[in-house]
Amino acid sequence: MQSYRLFMRRLVRNYMIGSAVAVMGVGSILIFSTLKISAYDARLLLLTLVISIPFMIISESAVFRRHMRPIRWLFDEHHTASAQDYQTAFLQLHRLPILAVRRVALPHWLGLAGPAVSLTLIEILYFHLTIPLSYLVVAIIGSILVASMHALIEFFLTAEAIVPMLSEVQEMARTALGMHLTLDGKVLVSVQSKYRSSALLIGVFPLILFSLATQLRLNQGVKTMQPSAYWQWAGVILLVGIGFSILSSGLLARVVQRPIVELESKMAKVQRGNLQTRAIEAYSDEFSRLVTGFNLMVDDLQARELQTMLLTQSLLTTLAAALDARDPYTAGHSQRVSDYSVEIGKRAGLTATVLKDLRESALLHDIGKIGIPDTILLKEGRLSAEEFEVMKSHPVVGESILLQVQPPNAMAALLPGVRSHHERYDGDGYPDGLSGEQIPLFGRIMAIADAFDAMTSDRPYRRGMPAEKAISILREGRGTQWDPIFTDLFIDWANQHLLAGERPSAAAATVPIAAATESP
């Protein structure tokens, strides 16, 4: 409700600004600088205004309340808004600028001009108001000019005021009902009619203002005037006309620039890869179609990116499963290592993007085993020293395989984990003998996940050990074989999830730390 109150204050402030500019621009010129009347006539005219203004306020207020009712209803704290309420308020907000023009043209102008002209006629007939009837014609034309100025300013200021409210209403609908409010490219007021009317008034206003002032001068018998006095009088009128043209053209330029600047900003975000951005549907002219088209384009890009991501993940998972299928004893190994690695990454506070890369790198961490002969990879029994050296080459082979993927940077984020998941924290690992923080982030995380799954999985020459025993070995090797921080994070997670309700296995024999590395 607070935002609605702020919106109402802004509309009232805009109304006062428009009224002040119009009345001071035209009224002051025609009355104070041109019209010469007696003090008695001035008092009668002032009384006429005092009596007429309440009629204008009452009629315009009633119309304004009716215009604001759908929006006020939406923000009523005692009312639960429906989908129809949101759509109605959204459409009404878009209509407010043109409704402001109608309000100024009808209840505002008629509410003041009608009583004022009627009272002036009565004063001329019965109260000896000594102004000619021709002044009434000039006054009516002048009031139309004032109302036109006011309507133009009100239109542009209201068009700016509704933008934050439209954004809030769209967010409210999305949060409350999960609905997307849109005009679907509907045009409420065309760019052509808006710009043509604005340009016409901006160009014609100074001419009409000067013509009215000149006519009043001539009606008062002023046939000749000294050049200095003429330019002093005419200069004021010209300055007011030019000032209005500058103000109106500035407001028009802002209305034109705003959607262009916003779309440029949104397109720059999309170019940087942010497909969550959407343009606010804050325009009721042809720009609404452009905004709708932009949002549909981003939706399509997002859908395509999601489809590509799912396809990539599916291919990686299938590739990992095919790799694991070569050895029935390691079935599901890559997927489990991936899951364990992600759990460590989550607790380490890694971003969603980094977690995605970590998951994919872990899925492919053993892809280099494609290059290991079956006689070694599927051997039932411990490997000889020579065979172990061949097996130790799989991280480098895996990196070489992924380097062949095009474009070259497609797998760049995955390479460090594939190459370094057998490095040890104390520097005794392979293939590069890195230690501590020299080991890439993914390598330090995946080393823990890989070792845990290797210890708990069955092999031809031994049964997998219980999770609690594997956790004990990880605890003993933290700081020497594995990164101590990531090891603690994994142990905390494993204690909460893997050990819940698990009974120790009969195979829980004492196994040295070396068991964690016997299967590269």
Following DSSP, what letter does each residue of 396-433 receive, concatenated? HHHHHHHTTSSSTTTTTTTHHHHHHTT--TTS--SSS-
CATH superfamily of 325-517: Hypothetical protein af1432 (1.10.3210.10)
Mean pLDDT in runs of 10 for the chain (520 residues)? Answer: 89 87 64 72 87 91 94 87 93 94 90 90 87 84 85 90 92 91 85 87 83 76 67 79 85 86 91 87 86 90 87 79 68 88 96 94 90 84 88 93 84 94 95 95 96 86 85 95 96 84 36 43
DSSP SS3 for 462 = strand
Predicted confidence at residue 500, as pLDDT, reads 58
Predicted confidence at residue 27, as pLDDT, reads 63
Contact 154, 21 (CB under 8 A): no
Contact 68, 258 (CB under 8 A): no
Alpha carbon separation from 132 to 34, 35, 110, 272, 451 (Å, rounded): 15, 12, 22, 70, 104
Phi-psi region at 479: left, alpha or beta (left = phi > 0; alpha = psi -120 to 50): left
Residue ranges covered by each domain of the chain: 2-291, 325-517
**97: Cα within 13 Å, side-chain hemisphere:** 22
Alpha carbon separation from 246 to 23, 185, 201, 252, 501 (Å, rounded): 17, 31, 12, 10, 78
DSSP H stretches of helix in 272-332? 287-324
Measured in whole angstroms, the distance separating CA 374 from the mean position of its chain's CA atoms is 54
d(Cα 487, Cα 479) in Å, to the nearest integer? 9
Predicted confidence at residue 18, as pLDDT, reads 83
d(Cα 136, Cα 126) in Å, to the nearest integer? 16
